[in-house]
Structure 1
Amino acid sequence: MERGMRLIGGQWKGSILWHLKDGPVRFNELSRMLGEASKK
């Protein structure tokens, strides 16, 4: 688990992967789901 989290790393990567687990999501939709994350 620890190694996996180190590979994923980053503040938003875990949340992004969670939202993409069921399939593709359009960028703007993903942006709305994440809320505070910048578009960078």
Structure 2
Amino acid sequence: MDSSQTTTVRVGTSGFSFADWRGVFYPQQIDRGKMLDFYV
């Protein structure tokens, strides 16, 4: 019996354009349209 198993774990977020993330994750003055590019 083969006892090895593979598990895939995917991590991400349910959104990326949260205003509260400015100055914490995003630069303070980032344009909303640039948030996804920055997040990626």
TM-score by length of 2: 0.29
Greater length-normalized contact order (CA 8 Å, ≥ 6 residues apart): 2
CA radius of gyration, larger in: 2
In the superposition, the TM-score normalised over structure 1's length comes to 0.29
